[in-house]
Amino acid sequence: MQNSDLKERSLPTDQRVLLVDDTRNLKSTVIARSYWEGMKALRYMGPWDVLLLDHDLASYCEDGIEKTGYHLISWLEENQEMHPEWMPKEIVLVTDNPVGRERMKVVIDKINQRRR
């Protein structure tokens, strides 16, 4: 699994691509517009070749706490050993949030270390 910038690559048409982003319309097989839709797609619609992941998903719990792409990638990392079928082969960050991107990269690095 690699973490790369979408601008640096084009996606083959034969790959299953999940985009989790509240606003962007990038080339993908399925678009999930919230944290919860993304989690559902990862659990029930996979396997995925590529996950295109935004940080700021405009998803809020009833108590007002925001659920972000960081929370989604952390959830994947927590479930990596028990549910490897949920893990996409590649994760591409599409966020413009520099702080969120760095936090998400740390989790992706942990995922990659476990896969080796």
Q: From CA 32, how far away is CA 42, in angstroms rounded?
A: 10
Could you report the per-residue pLDDT of 68-101, keeping only the tens digit for each?
999 999 999 999 999 999 999 999 999 999 999 9
Helix, strand, coil content of the chain in percent (nearest 5): 40, 20, 45
Q: Is residue 79 part of a domain?
A: yes
Q: Is residue 107 part of a domain?
A: yes
Q: Is residue 105 part of a domain?
A: yes
Q: What is the pLDDT of residue 14?
A: 84
Q: Which domain holds residue 71?
A: 15-115
Could you report the per-residue pLDDT of 1-27, keeping only the tens digit for each?
444 444 445 655 689 999 999 999 999
What pTM value is reported for the model? 0.87
Indicate the number of domains in the chain.
1
Q: What is the pLDDT of residue 66?
A: 92
In degrees and rounded to multiples of 5, residue 51 shows phi and psi of -110, 120
pLDDT band at 108 (very low <50, low <70, confident <90, very high): very high
Q: Is residue 53 part of a domain?
A: yes
Q: What is the pLDDT of residue 102?
A: 98
